[in-house]
Amino acid sequence: MRTNPLKYGTAALALVGAFAFGSTDAQSEIMRADTGSPGNVSHTVTVVLSKIWNRELGNTTQINDSQTLTRSAIKLGRGQLEMMPFPTTIYTFLSKGSRMYKKKQHEQAIAASKNVRSIWGWNAVLFHPVTFVKSGIKTYGDLKGKRVFTGPPSGAAAVTSESVIRAVTGYIPNKDYKAIRLPWGSGLQAMLDGKLDVYFRPAGVGSAAVEQLGLKQKFRLLDIGDATTSAAWKKYLKPMGREQGIIPAGTYKGQINNDKDVVVGANTFQYAVNKSLPDDLVYRMTKLTWDNIGEIHKTAVTLQTMDKSKPFTGVNMPLHRGAIRYYKEKGIKIPAGLIPPEAM
């Protein structure tokens, strides 16, 4: 009996269908994937894709949600996972053993980076800076001395949120404002309980988590505004994976300033697999993704930024050979920097 992963909640394991990796007589295997918490784009993309792959390939996917993706990246490189949604910025840190990997996992991170491969990328998340109207906060400048949830401990989201604030205001975390780092679920609950002044949430447009806050009380999304022309903001945007995004007017009913577009920070993701996955499997996974992009867009509004004409958006790790085969068949030019040694 096949199980629908869409029915599972936080920390659940979703098992879908049955799949054998190698030849038709090979032993059946489970495809393991880590994601963020339900409601996050990382979770949505994996559940939606697993549904399609199950239907077309008859595979099994075990989805372990509510994970910190910086840790999952090392698991992927170690072969403890087969696939995961992979923030572009995390690969930069992983390949250099820097930031959250610098102190305790420097060598492990660099080693793991050699065993991960991308299949495509997209503009995935917009950083939603949410503050309830009663807080009196109207601009980034008002964050001085406030309690700001920036993301989970040791996660790339917290680094990015704090970098956005610094680029816009010059404020330093835990000096000019209190940077609160908690797991996603705890952070959302803390905001709902009134223990935070601002809640930064990277999510796709139309995020259910942001909608949930609007059901509690009216909120404002902080606009970067004129700071987009500053040298600090332009410097912030230089690293690959960082973008400037727009949350369109009218997106959220509970948003008090939803009469105009809000400029925010944005990040790209790529979908990554372990290097050892069979070429034919990854070829079919890639093909099924783009052959069914209309269904993907229809199923999840937060995935409508996936663009078949721009498959390498946010891709900064080498492509898997199976994905390379697909793009070559389609006549899509592959940047030289994305060709791994084993495909040369």
Residue 257 in tokens: 């300033």
At residue 65, the 3 state secondary structure works out as coil
Q: What percentage of the chain has pLDDT greater than the value 90?
A: 79
Domains of the chain: 5-123+269-343 (3.40.190.10), 125-267 (3.40.190.10)
The region, left, alpha or beta by phi > 0 then psi within -120 to 50, assigned to residue 141 is alpha
Return the closest-CA partner of residue 198 out of 138, 263, 124: 138
Q: How far is 26 from 5, CA to CA, in rounded Å?
A: 25
Report DSSP state, residue 104: T
User: Is the distance from CB of 48 to CB of 98 less than 8 angstroms?
Assistant: no
CA-CA distances (angstroms) from residue 123 to 26, 35, 73, 99, 244? 37, 17, 19, 23, 10
**Tens digit of pLDDT for each residue in 307-339?**
999 999 999 999 999 999 999 999 999 999 999
- Tokens 């659940």 belong to 12
pLDDT tens for each residue of 170-196: 999 999 999 999 998 899 999 999 999
- 25-72 confidence digits (pLDDT tens): 333 468 999 998 888 899 999 999 999 998 999 888 999 998 989 999
The 3-state DSSP class for residue 39 equals: coil
